Amino acid sequence: MSDNLQIGRDGRLRHLLTMEGLPRTLLLQILDQAERYAADRRAEGAHGDKKHPVLHGKTVVNLFFEASTRTRTTFELAAKRLAADVVNLQVSASSTSKGETLLDTLKTLEAMQVDMFVIRHEASGAAHFFAQHAAPGVAILNAGDGRHAHPTQALLDMFTIRRHKPDFSKLSVAIVGDALHSRVARSDIHALRTLGARDVRLVAPRPLVPTGIEHLGVKVFNELEAGLDGVDVVILLRLQTERMLGAFLPSTGEFHRDFGLTRERLAKLKPDVLVMHPGPINRGVEIEGDVAYGERSVILEQVAHGVAVRMAVMAMILGGEAA
Ligand code: ASP
């Protein structure tokens, strides 16, 4: 899938579709900009309402064809903190259920002077399709396309890791679970490798390992204990039963027995290991509830960082925010 649509001739970010092919310097610019927004927010306190009006007068449409809690809400908050006008379009209420094609939907909304679309769709490639057909000056942000990519999730994951463990070259990171159906896994792998992580592992039962994933620079483990040995970060993935067409696993109980992160297993890992999950979690499947909200977990930090990271991406694309 072509990714050079994302960067303009001037080297600036134009759309955000995938982590693939994004240069390290650009990733660092986004993370640094997000750091400035997060620091401002901290300085203001929990109920601060300061806006960074770089998107004043711009219109952002959240176009979600798939369910979302964290991503849609944090994109909305991010756009509002940048003073944009925001419209949330739910697929059930839209014309696509009446047979309108994706292209018709795009062109109809563009006619209303939209500046940016944040799109989530079950089809891998949907965001690329929009970017290919968008009018000049209209930006597309991929908020998750099928199994393909979820770039802002990867950015907020990198942001969260970097706050705790700044040197990616020293990190061992294990991504555990349903990588076959996970756009987060792919985007995280690209981002980690681009930022210099040398030891990136994928730990999963054989049926949930995507063919050829080793070519992205990951080591595959089919056994949890070996896969987690000595790691600094564990990123757990949700079992995506909604994308499973056949029987991939004997049962979720068996998956938990062999691959679930329990308190006992966590106790054997490094004392400063980070436990991450993009959410929504399946308690008692890939993670025990106590571990999800335990002291090694940064899962809620990930959610909070989603706002600053999404502000940074939007500001860099639409607001001309210098990085
Ligand atoms: N929320 C993430 C996504 O949209 C992860 C998941 O759904 O499991 O891909």
Q: Is residue 278 within 6 Å of ligand 1 at its C-beta? A: yes
**Model pLDDT, residue 51:** 83
Instruction: State which ligand 1 atom lies nearest to the alpha carbon of 238.
Output: 8
Residue 1 has pLDDT above 50, yes or no: no
Q: What's the CA gap between 116 and 211, in Å, rounded?
A: 34
159, 278: one domain:
yes
251, 120: one domain:
no
Decide: 238 and 179 in contact? Cβ < 8 Å.
no
143, 179: one domain:
no
For residue 319 the two structure tokens come to 């607001």
Protein residue with its CA nearest to atom 8 in ligand 1: 238
99, 158: one domain:
no
What is each CA distance from 311 to 226, 231, 286, in whole angstroms? 38, 31, 30
276, 223: one domain:
yes
What's the gap in Å between 96 CA and the centre of ligand 1? 23
Q: Which domain CATH number covers 18?
A: 3.40.50.1370
pLDDT band at 323 (very low <50, low <70, confident <90, very high): very low
What is each CA distance from 78 to 187, 245, 265, 300, 306, in whole angstroms? 21, 35, 36, 17, 8
Domain that holds residue 60: 3-149+306-319
Instruction: State which ligand 1 atom lies nearest to the alpha carbon of 143.
Output: 4
Q: Is residue 144 within 6 Å of ligand 1 at its C-beta? A: yes
The pLDDT tens digits of the residues spanning 192-247 come to: 999 999 999 999 999 999 999 999 999 999 999 999 999 999 999 999 887 776 66
**Model pLDDT, residue 97:** 61
266, 155: one domain:
yes
Decide: 106 and 80 in contact? Cβ < 8 Å.
no
Residue 13, φ and ψ in degrees, nearest 5: -70, 130
**Model pLDDT, residue 319:** 85
The pLDDT tens digits of the residues spanning 12-64 come to: 999 999 999 999 999 999 999 999 999 998 888 767 777 899 999 999 999 99
163, 288: one domain:
yes
134, 177: one domain:
no
The pLDDT tens digits of the residues spanning 85-126 come to: 999 987 765 566 666 788 888 899 999 999 999 999 999 999
Could you list the beta-strand ranges (E) of the chain.
59-64, 85-90, 116-121, 139-145, 172-176, 199-203, 219-221, 233-236, 274-276
Q: Is residue 150 within 6 Å of ligand 1 at its C-beta? A: yes
231, 121: one domain:
no
What's the gap in Å between 183 CA and the centre of ligand 1? 7
41, 123: one domain:
yes
Order of strands, sheet of 59-64, starting from the edge strand that comes earlier in the sequence: 85-90, 59-64, 116-121, 139-145
Number of domains in the chain: 2
30, 142: one domain:
yes
81, 221: one domain:
no
